[in-house]
Structure 1
Amino acid sequence: MATKTKNVAEELSTEEKIGVLYALQQIDSKTDSINHIKGELPFEVQDLEDVIGGLETRIGTYGEQADELSREVKAKKEEIEQAKALIKKYEAQQDDVRNNREFDSLSKEIEYQKLEIELAEKRIKEFNAEIKNKKKLIEDTKVLLEDRKIDLDAKQAELAGIEEETAKELEELGKQAAEARGKIDERLLSAYDRIRKNVRNGLAVVTVKRDACGGCFNRIPPQRQLDIRMSKKIIVCEYCGRILVSDLLDGEAE
């Protein structure tokens, strides 16, 4: 298949190649124009999808943090119960002490466990406050998430409508472009693609209009204009690098 395409390109004269190249530019320009209708919609859709993904991750993270805090609360409550059990144990032991030293030692243990309970209760209050804050963040983020989902649905619907309206035309233009590209040799096609990529409006092939380049509008000398009209070789603009063709091709394209 590649050999067949190469042979077709080799069979064309330079003038015919220039004509096909200009036709390809016309096809690609029509495609660009249709895609321009979509504007920033594809990027806006992608951005919203990224935002939604980020919000969902954030909600998940807040949830995990709240769960971890709940486990901390449970652990502190268990510590309180253990401390209370020890206090009861030490208080019972105080009834059987043999001297003041043992009594004072048990009293210190009881006081220590009471301080542990106070500290645990303080930490529980802090954890519960953090849990409340995480739940508030989750609710606020969910509201924001729903808003972004509504925005995404609207953007996707708008984009889908445009794509549905232009699908057939883009498909036909794609076929025409493939046919034209099959007639152009690889080196010239590569140059065309490179120029299209590097210029702002995607115009790699332009006609000479009013003695000037149709791309950058710099003046073209008369002799060079004559060479362009003769179409015996590929000529590029010395200012912008675009491929220059005769304005007579405009009539042929119509």
Structure 2
Amino acid sequence: MKANISHLRELQAIDQKISTLDKEIAASAAEIDGRRASLDGHRETIDQLTAKIAANEQRRRELEAELEDEQVKIKDRQAKLMNVQTNREYQSILKETEDSKKANTQREEAVVQLMEQIEALTAQIEEETKICEEDEKMLADDIAAVEKKTSQFTAEKSKILKSRESKASAVAASLLKKYTAIRDKRNGLAIVPVTGGVCRGCFMNIPPQLYNDLMKEDKLISCPTCHRIMFHETETTEE
């Protein structure tokens, strides 16, 4: 039975190394995904700012066209003033001319505001573009580093898996199945030590008789609380 416990402990140590490597690989991939998401966010911002500039430019052109049209009408009205026959007609044309001038003044102010907005939006795009360029360089560097790291992890994992096959072959199929089931349910920890009558998997006290049986080391015993396979380990002074 001691041999079985020894094999399981070695197997669990290997599985924990594999789990650590898998987490490292996943963390590296997540880091790259986060960098890509950030870059995509800045690109989307640039697209939105560009769309706003296009809308402002379109509105500016429309206002400038209206300004030109209205200016032509103002000149026509001013020419008519020289040939009016009545004071009423003169006042009417004069009012229309003044209204047009006021409307054009408002259009000119709106054009200036639009140009200021376009200038501000352009500055934002330049800033976002700089950030994108920096992020793209960092992303390229990160991808290269992650690919190198992942390659190393994968090679190391391949070696460990071969060792695992050897260790797993030394464990009875039924026991290996039980170990795997517990490991999957208990966050990768299937076999744990018991010191001072306390299971180090769930940190619960085990019954005295069960503890006595465990110390005999003549059969596999599971924790009545967390159901992990237990083995006796002598307490140290530090513990």
TM class by shorter-chain length? 0.7 to 0.9
Residue 158 of structure 1: how far off its partner (Å) = 2.1
Counterpart position of 2:151: 164
Aligned-partner residue type, residue 183 of structure 2: Y
Residue 163 of structure 1: how far off its partner (Å) = 1.0
Alignment of 1:231 with 2:205, yes or no, is no
Could you state the TM-score of these two structures normalised by the residue count of structure 2? Answer: 0.77
Q: 2:68 aligns with which of 78, 81, 85?
A: 81
TM-superposition CA deviations, 1:68-97 (whole Å, max 9, x none): 111111011011011112112222332332
Superposition RMSD in Å: 3.5
Residue 203 of structure 1: how far off its partner (Å) = 2.7
Alignment of 1:33 with 2:24, yes or no, is no
Counterpart CA distance in 2 for 1:155 and 1:44 is 9
TM-superposition CA deviations, 1:196-237 (whole Å, max 9, x none): 1xxxxx43422335765344666656632444433345x126
Q: 2:184 aligns with which of 193, 207, 210?
A: 193
Counterpart CA distance in 2 for 1:205 and 1:71 is 71
Counterpart CA distance in 1 for 2:224 and 2:63 is 79
Alignment of 1:213 with 2:204, yes or no, is no
Could you state the TM-score of these two structures normalised by the residue count of structure 1? Answer: 0.73
Aligned-partner residue type, residue 69 of structure 1: N
Identity %: 22
Residue 43 of structure 1: how far off its partner (Å) = 3.3
- Partner SS, residue 193 of structure 2: strand
Aligned-partner residue type, residue 63 of structure 1: T
Contact 2:194–2:200 (CA under 8 A) maintained in structure 1: yes
Counterpart CA distance in 2 for 1:71 and 1:113 is 22
- Partner SS, residue 230 of structure 1: coil
- Partner SS, residue 85 of structure 2: coil
Counterpart CA distance in 1 for 2:149 and 2:196 is 37
Alignment of 1:123 with 2:110, yes or no, is yes
Counterpart position of 2:231: 246
Aligned-partner residue type, residue 231 of structure 1: K
Residue 111 of structure 1: how far off its partner (Å) = 0.8
Q: Which consecutive residues of structure 1, in runs of 5 or more, have no partner in the other structure? A: 1-13, 197-201, 249-254
Q: Which consecutive residues of structure 2, in runs of 5 or more, have no partner in the other structure? A: 234-239
- Partner SS, residue 60 of structure 2: helix
Counterpart position of 1:102: 89
Contact 1:17–1:183 (CA under 8 A) maintained in structure 2: no
Aligned-partner residue type, residue 45 of structure 2: R
Q: Which moved more, 1:73-82 or 1:140-149?
A: 140-149
Give the number of equivalent residue pairs.
226
Contact 1:90–1:110 (CA under 8 A) maintained in structure 2: yes
Contact 1:205–1:242 (CA under 8 A) maintained in structure 2: no
Counterpart CA distance in 1 for 2:227 and 2:80 is 99
Aligned-partner residue type, residue 231 of structure 2: S
- Partner SS, residue 246 of structure 1: strand
